[in-house]
Amino acid sequence: MEIQREAQLQERLGRQLILFPLPLQGHISPMLQLANILYAKGFSITIVHTKFNSPNPTNYPHFTFYPIFDGLSESESSPNDIISLLSLLNQNCIVPFQEALAQLLADKSGDPIACLISDAILHFTSAVAKSFNLPRIVLRTGGVSSFLAFAAFPLLLEKGYIPTQDGRAEEPVVELPPLRVKDLPVIKTSNPEKFYELLASMIQETKNSSGLIWNSFEELEESALTKLRQDFPIPIFPVGPFHKHFTVSSSSLIADDTSSISWLNEQSPNSVIYVGFGSIAAIEEKEFIEIAWGLVNSKLPFLWVVRPGLVRGAEWIEPLPEGFLEMLNGRGHIVKWAPQLEVLAHPAVGAFWTHNGWNSTIESICEGVPMICMPCFTDQLVNARYVSHVWKVGVQLENGLDRVNIEQAIKKIMVEKEGEEIRKQVLNLKEKINLCLELGGSSYNSVKSMVNYIASF
Ligand code: UDX
C-alpha cells in the first residue's frame, strides 16, 4: 500500500493521535483520509468509533480501531431524523468515550497520545478531552463558506431570515453574499430548536478547540478563510482535498458496484451524466419519476446511483414505470452504490448531477467535472450557490424538479455552447488543485504546519 510505504520511509514520530469520526458516510471518509495523511507523516493512529455505521477496518490495517457503545436502538440508528440522531450521539457517547479515553491514556504500551481530533458535530468531546487535559483539534468535514453561515445563525434568526418563509426565498441575505434566503443551510425538522442548539454547540466548541482542519483549500475559499481567521482566532489548516494527497482506499459503508466502471468503459469520452445524491438525501416518488424521464429525454447516456432508501416509501427502483429499463436499451445504468471517486475520474463522465454534499462537490471539482446542483438540506444549499454563482462550475436546478427543466439543464452542462464557460472553468479549478498539492503549494504547506503544530503538543 502506497501510504504504508511512505510511512515506512518517514521517520516515526512516536506520537499517537486519537481520531473520532461522526458515524455518517460523508464524515467517516474524510476522517479516514485525514488519518492516512497524518499516518504518512509519522503519527500512529487510533480510530474511536461507534458500533452504529462502524467503519470497515480491512482497508486500514495500519490503524487501531477502538469501538465504543453508542446506546442507539434500531429505530434511532437511522438518518431519517438526522437532527435527533446527532443529538443522541452527543448524549449517549459521553460516558463510553470518557471510559475509552481513560483506558487509552493509561495504556503505556502504545505511543504517547498527542491530541484528539474529533468531528466538529461531536461537540461533547470538547468537555471530555478537557477533563483529561488532552488538546482537542476539530475536523470540519464541510466547506468554510457554509460553516460561516451556520455561525451566523443567531444573527439570521434575529433578523428574521430564518425560519425561512416562502415569500422571501429570493431575497438576498446582505450579511452573507451571495446567499439568498433560499440558500441558507436549513433542514426540515420537527424540532428546529434542537437543530439551532446543535449548531450553537458545534460553533462554540469549535471556538474552544486548539485548532481547526478543513477538507478545503486556500484558493477555493480564500475570502471565507479570511473571515474565519478573524472570527475564530485559533490555528486553521485548510489541507484539502484530502483524497488527492495519495491513492485512497475505499471507506464505503455500502459495497461498491463495480459494474459502474465496466459500463463506463463502453461509453465515449465525456458522454455520460453521472447522477448521485450521496448517502442521506431522500426524494419523493414524484421527483424520482421526473428525474427518470428527464434523463431519458436528454438522450444522453447516464449512470445513476439509486441508493436503497433514496425514494421515500420505496425499497429501490420499483416506482419506475413498467418497461422503463428495457426501453433504455443499455443507454442508462442504475446501481445501488458506485465507486464515486473512480467514476468521477473516468474519461467517459461529462457531468455530475449532485446534491452538493461537500465531499461530492470537492470530488467533482478535483476531476474537472461540471455539476448540475440539486441541494436538499443544510450545507448542500450553500455549496450549490457557491458552485453555480461563485466558482461558476455548475448550474443549479432552480425552477422545480420537472422533466423539461432537467432535460434543459443536462443539455446545457453537457453539450450546449452556453455551458462551455462552465466546462472550462472547472478545468481551471482542477489545475489550481494540482498546484496547491505540489511542493510549496497552499495545501502542501498547510499539511506541514499542521504536522508541526500537532507534534508540538
Ligand atoms: C453528508 C451531508 O449530507 C453533506 O451535506 C455534508 O457535507 C457531509 O455529510 P452526504 O450527503 O453523504 O454527506 O454527501 P457527500 O458529502 O457528498 O458524501 C458522500 C460520500 O459518499 C462521497 O465521498 C462520495 O464519494 C461517496 N459515495 C456516494 C460513493 O462512494 N458512492 C456513491 O454511490 C455515493
Residues 210, 127 share a domain = yes
Residues 40, 65 share a domain = yes
User: How many C-beta atoms surround the C-beta of residue 313 within 10 A?
Assistant: 8
Strand order in the sheet with 16-20: 64-68, 44-50, 16-20, 113-119, 136-140, 212-214, 236-238
pLDDT, tens only, 10-69: 678 899 999 999 999 999 999 999 999 999 999 999 999 999 999 999 999 999 999 999
Q: How far is the CA of 197 from the centre of ligand 1 (A)?
A: 24
Residues 278, 203 share a domain = no
State the Cα–Cα distance between residues 40 and 13, nearest whole angstrom: 10
Do residues 97 and 69 touch, judged by C-beta distance below 8 A? no
State the Cα–Cα distance between residues 378 and 355, nearest whole angstrom: 11
- From 279, 303, 337, 373, the mutation candidate for ligand 1 (largest count of ligand atoms within 8 A of CB) is 279
Peptide bond before residue 241 is cis, with ω within 30 degrees of 0:
yes
Residues 178, 220 share a domain = yes
The answer, yes or no, to whether any atom of ligand 1 lies below 6 A from the CB of 143, is no
19 DSSP β-pair partners: 47, 117
pLDDT tier at 180, thresholds 50, 70, 90: very high
Residue 1 has pLDDT above 70, yes or no: no
The answer, yes or no, to whether any atom of ligand 1 lies below 6 A from the CB of 119, is no
User: What residue numbers bound the domain in which 421 lies?
Assistant: 259-433
Give 215's contacts (C-beta < 8 A, 6+ positions apart).
30, 33, 34, 139, 141, 239, 240, 241, 242, 358, 359, 362
DSSP category for residue 336: S
pLDDT, tens only, 338-397: 999 999 999 999 999 999 999 999 999 999 999 999 999 999 999 999 999 999 999 999
Please name the residue whose Cα sits nearest to atom 11 of ligand 1.
Answer: 278
Number of domains present in the structure of the chain: 2
The pairs formed by 177-181 with CB atoms below 8 angstroms and a separation of 24 or more are 178/385, 178/389, 178/390, 179/149, 179/382, 179/385, 180/385
pLDDT tier at 249, thresholds 50, 70, 90: confident
pLDDT, tens only, 80-121: 789 999 999 999 999 999 999 999 999 999 999 999 999 999
440: left (phi over 0), alpha (psi -120 to 50) or beta: left
Residues 111, 138 share a domain = yes
Q: How far is the CA of 374 from the centre of ligand 1 (A)?
A: 14
Residues 287, 166 share a domain = no
Do residues 181 and 169 touch, judged by C-beta distance below 8 A? yes
Whole-number pLDDT of residue 164 = 84
DSSP category for residue 281: -
The answer, yes or no, to whether any atom of ligand 1 lies below 6 A from the CB of 304, is no
- Give me the percent of the chain exceeding a pLDDT of 90: 91
Mapping DSSP to helix (H, G, I), strand (E, B) and coil, where does residue 434 land? helix
Secondary structure of the chain: what % helix, strand, coil (to 5)? 45, 15, 40
Residues 347, 228 share a domain = no
Indicate which CATH number applies to the domain containing 429.
Answer: 3.40.50.2000
Grid cell, residue 215, equals 477538507
Please name the residue whose Cα sits nearest to atom 4 of ligand 1.
Answer: 357
State the Cα–Cα distance between residues 395 and 372, nearest whole angstrom: 5
Residues 210, 271 share a domain = no
Residues 377, 228 share a domain = no
Strand 272-276 with 302-305, pairing = parallel
Residues 238, 104 share a domain = yes
- From 25, 275, 362, 367, the mutation candidate for ligand 1 (largest count of ligand atoms within 8 A of CB) is 25
Residues 146, 84 share a domain = yes
The enclosing H or E element of 421 equals helix 420-437
Grid cell, residue 21, equals 469520526
How much is the average pLDDT of 153-162?
A: 97
DSSP category for residue 237: E
Q: Give the closest residue to 48 by CA, choosing from 143, 147, 136.
A: 136
Residues 447, 426 share a domain = no
**pTM of the entire structure?**
0.97
Task: Determine the longest span between alpha carbons in the chain, in angstroms.
Answer: 64
